[in-house]
């Protein structure tokens, strides 16, 4: 059986070879490719494809089943390439009963390769780099099946659904570990490897971040982070490609499984930015990160997004006002869960903002906070009132109380009298007491102005009510009408209480 399996592998140098042809014909160079995978594999089994094309690869004519310890050092790299060629054969892992022996042989060979790369081998030759990149591409780069939840209108609401796991994961994990060890190996020269770990290779890695399997995304996160660190020439392209993924989520699909992991990578990237920040990085913040607050799936990656934005503000405190304006622009109107998240992020920003930047945005900011205080959803109102438990925020309010107190006082006073939730009422009374202790004269002036405004509102309401009563009386005195003439209906059918 082993002879039959190995007889299908190329023994001589190939003039030209690509990942596409390797993926489609890796099992054999003959038309009957299915015969290479053992009996019982139909031709109709779908193959995972890749569009990454590598130059001509050299497969050494050496027996791939030989152990590395049984060959001299001069032949180990050739054996490495030969074993990589063996692992370019693809199997159907959806049926665990098919090609069991061949799968186990491939798995054992992958472990051998992993041990070899982990043991600090001599510098990888260009054919070895090419062979490993091709093997990883053949095994990893694939098109994911359509997600049945993508057609579900409630998909964004049911984020706790269990993900779909790839049945080939035990095999894929070894390939990911091999690629990670390869990228981080001191035996790999970035100047040589950049020809094969190129833009197309990186783009295919980014496509894999949409996997539903969190284990696969964690592996990809580690690998992409190491590639970003090792290949400086690819850094601008990686940042641009990640931005494009974010743009698709914001403006097209609103759904991607790997946003949290990509933001984790970018969070560590931001910490390494040199000062002063380049304009490119500021544009990324304003056009990419801040709009990521818009999708309904914000809760999945909110923590990572908030961390990235805070890293930007720590680098350049002047960006705090830009971020707050962006939050106010994308402030949720119908999602109370997102409102609570926005308020939490606002508190983190206000803890580090300086006075000059705060004064630029304090008027629209506290108009929005006032609306949240008056929210009928008690969690939103509570979270807004909890801002006064933060000493730094209270200090900012105290220094600008002549502007902020007239804006926020009506919302607080209305809550103390009318809000249905007792906890919100008590918190509102505490904030009201803080205002009184902060500046009693200003507090009394705001209270007097609030009473005057309420009297005006009540008077206007009475006038409207009297006007409607007069109209109803006049209409009732007129004779009945027929035809297409408009008729005043009863008040019960049209009255709306706000």
pLDDT in tens, 61-100: 456 678 888 888 888 899 899 999 989 888 888 887 888 8
Q: Is the pLDDT of residue 485 over 80?
A: no
More confident residue, 70 or 152: 70
In a domain, 62, yes or no: no
Q: Is the pLDDT of residue 2 over 90?
A: no
Position 253 scores a pLDDT of 83
In a domain, 103, yes or no: no
pLDDT in tens, 331-357: 999 999 999 999 999 999 999 999 999
Position 335 scores a pLDDT of 93
In a domain, 195, yes or no: no
Position 141 scores a pLDDT of 93
In a domain, 70, yes or no: no
Q: Is the pLDDT of residue 258 over 80?
A: yes
Give the best-scoring range by mean pLDDT among 100-104, 139-143, 424-428. 424-428
Mean pLDDT of the chain: 83
pLDDT confidence tier of residue 147, bands split at 50, 70 and 90: low
Position 475 scores a pLDDT of 85
pLDDT confidence tier of residue 144, bands split at 50, 70 and 90: confident
pLDDT in tens, 154-190: 444 444 556 677 888 989 999 999 999 999 999 999 9
In a domain, 426, yes or no: yes
Average pLDDT over residues 192-220: 94
Pick from 115-124, 240-249, 286-295, 365-374: least confident: 115-124
Position 210 scores a pLDDT of 92
Q: Is the pLDDT of residue 494 over 60?
A: no
Average pLDDT over residues 463-477: 90
Q: Is the pLDDT of residue 486 over 80?
A: no
pLDDT confidence tier of residue 487, bands split at 50, 70 and 90: low
Cβ-based neighbour number of residue 15 at 10 Å: 8
In a domain, 458, yes or no: yes
Percent of the chain predicted with pLDDT > 90? 65
Provide the domain count of the chain. Answer: 1
CATH number at residue 423: 1.25.10.10
pLDDT in tens, 286-336: 999 999 999 999 999 999 999 999 999 999 999 999 999 999 999 999 999
pLDDT confidence tier of residue 151, bands split at 50, 70 and 90: very low
Q: Is the pLDDT of residue 20 over 80?
A: no
Q: Tell me the residue range of the domain where 386 lies.
A: 320-474
Q: Is the pLDDT of residue 28 over 80?
A: no
In a domain, 364, yes or no: yes
Residues 6+ apart with CB under 8 A from 191: none
In a domain, 27, yes or no: no
């Amino acid at each position: 059986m082993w002879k039959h399996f190995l007889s299908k592998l190329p023994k001589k140098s190939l003039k030209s070879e690509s990942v596409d042809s390797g993926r489609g014909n890796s099992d054999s160079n003959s038309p009957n490719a299915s015969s290479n995978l053992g009996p019982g594999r139909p031709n109709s089994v779908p193959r995972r494809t890749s569009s990454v094309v590598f130059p001509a690869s050299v497969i050494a004519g050496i027996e791939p089943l030989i152990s590395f310890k049984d060959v001299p050092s001069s032949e180990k790299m050739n054996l490495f390439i030969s074993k990589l060629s063996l692992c370019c054969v693809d199997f159907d892992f959806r049926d665990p009963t098919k090609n069991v022996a061949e799968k186990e042989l491939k798995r054992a060979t992958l472990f051998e390769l992993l041990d070899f790369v982990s043991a600090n081998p001599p510098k990888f030759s260009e054919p070895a780099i090419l062979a490993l990149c091709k093997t990883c591409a053949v095994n990893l780069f694939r098109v994911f099946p359509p997600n049945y939840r993508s057609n579900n209108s409630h998909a964004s609401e049911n984020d706790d659904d269990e993900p779909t796991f790839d049945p080939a994961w035990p095999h894929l994990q070894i390939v990911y570990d091999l690629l990670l060890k390869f990228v981080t190996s001191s035996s790999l020269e970035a100047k040589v490897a950049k020809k094969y770990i190129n833009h197309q290779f990186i783009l295919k890695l980014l496509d894999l971040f949409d996997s539903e399997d969190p284990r696969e995304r964690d592996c990809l996160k580690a690998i992409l982070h190491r590639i970003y660190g090792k290949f400086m020439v690819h850094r601008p392209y990686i940042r641009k490609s990640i931005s494009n993924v974010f743009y698709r989520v914001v403006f097209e699909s609103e759904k991607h499984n790997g946003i949290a992991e990509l933001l984790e990578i970018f969070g560590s990237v931001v910490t390494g930015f040199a000062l002063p920040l380049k304009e490119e990085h500021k544009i990324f913040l304003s056009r990419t990160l801040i709009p990521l607050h818009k999708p309904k799936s914000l809760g999945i990656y909110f923590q990572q997004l908030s961390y990235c934005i805070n890293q930007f503000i720590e680098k350049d405190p002047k960006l705090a006002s830009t971020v707050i304006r962006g939050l106010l622009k994308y402030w949720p109107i119908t999602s109370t869960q997102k409102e609570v998240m926005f308020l939490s992020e606002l508190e983190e920003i206000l803890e580090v903002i300086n006075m000059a930047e705060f004064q630029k945005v304090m008027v629209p900011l506290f108009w929005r906070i006032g609306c949240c205080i008056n929210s009928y959803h008690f969690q939103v109102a509570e979270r807004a009132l909890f801002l006064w438990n933060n000493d730094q925020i209270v200090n900012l309010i105290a220094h600008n109380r002549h502007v902020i107190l007239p804006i926020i006082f009506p919302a607080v006073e209305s809550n103390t009298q009318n809000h249905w939730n007792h906890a919100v009422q008590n918190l509102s009374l505490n904030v009201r007491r803080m205002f009184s202790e902060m500046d009693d004269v200003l507090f009394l002036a705001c209270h007097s102005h609030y009473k005057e405004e309420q009297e005006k509102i009540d008077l206007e309401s009475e006038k409207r009510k009297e006007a409607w009563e007069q109209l109803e009386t006049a209409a009732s005195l007129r004779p009945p009408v027929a035809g297409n003439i408009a008729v005043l209906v009863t008040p019960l059918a049209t009255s709306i209480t706000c």
